[in-house]
A = this chain, B = another copy of it.
């Protein structure tokens, strides 16, 4: 799907419509503060807890917006994706709420826990061989035979407008912020953040936080064009995917800077947040605090929104338990 020439750039009207549309199906998540982390960073931090979101992740917003925006005829044919991670869960959740079918194509070799999670939210799994060619072939077959609507995890204007409702809630609840920090992988959350803030809080700086081991967005940002890594390896497994045309539009036009953190910095920040804030969140969600801690001069004295993107983590394989 090539969207470079004719891609639709969502507007803030789309965000307002998305917010109304998804309200019955997603949480208005709480915003937590921590004296400990304020003292540690010198900033005033506001943690938007999307780990408490439906399906355990902010992606329930974008998926719900896409699913509930379908007309009845299209909805009958269902939706499909080939993301076996948080987007697959979120799409299964949203489709379940609408009472339509969500097909998730995933490799037969995917961990049982991931298959169970998708099925737990009501998704239907179609297995493929563990290769890109098999995945694409099987996915094309699913879409052709069912007419299901392909909902990309992030390179989709409906998804981005949905994710944009997260920072809309932050500004509504907190008023002015000097900066917002969110992790960046494919760029769906950051694009939504750009979309909202550039419209209703254009003075707020937007920092994207990326694992150094998967710093393709950072390098793209410096190069001025998309650079995609072949196979980045990071504990923050939600952040391995590359930017696409639509998210690049937002990143290249509205992001203030992209800052990176090492694996150890991410793990240390994650453990410290579990310990002090008493919340379960994914490694990806710890990257923002990691970059704030190593760039205190940027954030000290500022009111900073921090997006805790999700809480779906394998409790049997926590990164600080080496077993």
A5-39 interface code vs B (CB 8 A; 1 in, 0 out) = 00000000000000000000000001010000000
Q: Which residues of chain A (237-287) have a CB below 8 Å from chain B?
A: 271, 274-275, 277-281
Interface of A is mostly: loop
A281 near B278: Cβ-Cβ < 8 Å: yes
Give, as a whole number of angstroms, the nearest-CB distance from A79 to chain B.
Answer: 21
Residue of B nearest to A270 (CB): B315
Contact with B along A278-308 (1 / 0, CB 8 A): 1111000000000000000000000000000
Residue numbers in B under 8 Å from A32 (CB-CB): 52
A278 to B277 Cα, complex, angstroms: 11
The closest CB in chain B to the CB of A54 belongs to B35
Within 8 Å CB of A56, what residues of B?
A: 278
Complex interface residues of chain A between 120 and 134 (CB less than 8 A to chain B):
none
Q: Which of B281, B315, B321 contacts A323 (CB 8 A)?
A: B321
**A316 close to B (CB within 8 Å):** yes
Would B311 and A278 count as touching, CB distance under 8 A?
Answer: yes
A51 interface hit (Cβ, 8 Å)? yes
Evaluate contact between B320 and A316: CB separation under 8 angstroms: yes
Distance between A47 CB and nearest chain B CB, rounded to angstroms: 11
Task: Give per-residue flags for A208-223: 1 if the beta carbon is below 8 A from chain B beta carbons, else 0.
Answer: 0000000000000000
A51, B323: Cβ atoms under 8 Å?
A: no
* Nearest CB of B to A210, in Å: 23
A318 at the interface (CB under 8 A from B): yes
Query: Contact at B278–A274, with CB atoms within 8 Å?
Result: no
- Which residues of chain B come closer than 8 Å to A275, judged between CB atoms? 280, 315
CB–CB A320/B315 < 8 A: yes
Q: Give the distance in Å from the alpha carbon of A281 to the alpha carbon of B316 in the complex.
A: 16
Using Cβ atoms and an 8 Å threshold, which residues of chain B touch A52?
Answer: 32, 277-278
A56 to B52, CA, bound (A): 19
Residue among A271, A278, A321, A323 with the highest chain B CB neighbour number at 10 A: A278
Binary contact track A58-98/B, C-beta < 8 Å → 1, others 0: 00000000000000000000000000000000000000000
Taken together as a complex, chains A and B put the C-alpha atoms of A318 and B278 apart, in Å, by 14
A323: chain B residues at CB < 8 Å are: 321, 323
A120 CB to closest chain B CB, in angstroms? 9
A155 to chain B, nearest CB (A): 27
- Closest approach, in angstroms, between the C-beta of A99 and any C-beta of chain B? 16
**Using Cβ atoms and an 8 Å threshold, which residues of chain B touch A320?**
315-316
CA distance A274 to B280 in the complex (A): 7
Report A's interface with B, CB cutoff 8 A.
Answer: 30, 32, 51-52, 56, 271, 274-275, 277-281, 311, 315-316, 318, 320-321, 323
- Residue pairs across A and B with Cβ atoms less than 8 A apart, 11 shown, are A30-B30, A32-B52, A51-B278, A52-B277, A271-B315, A275-B280, A278-B280, A280-B280, A315-B318, A318-B321, A321-B321
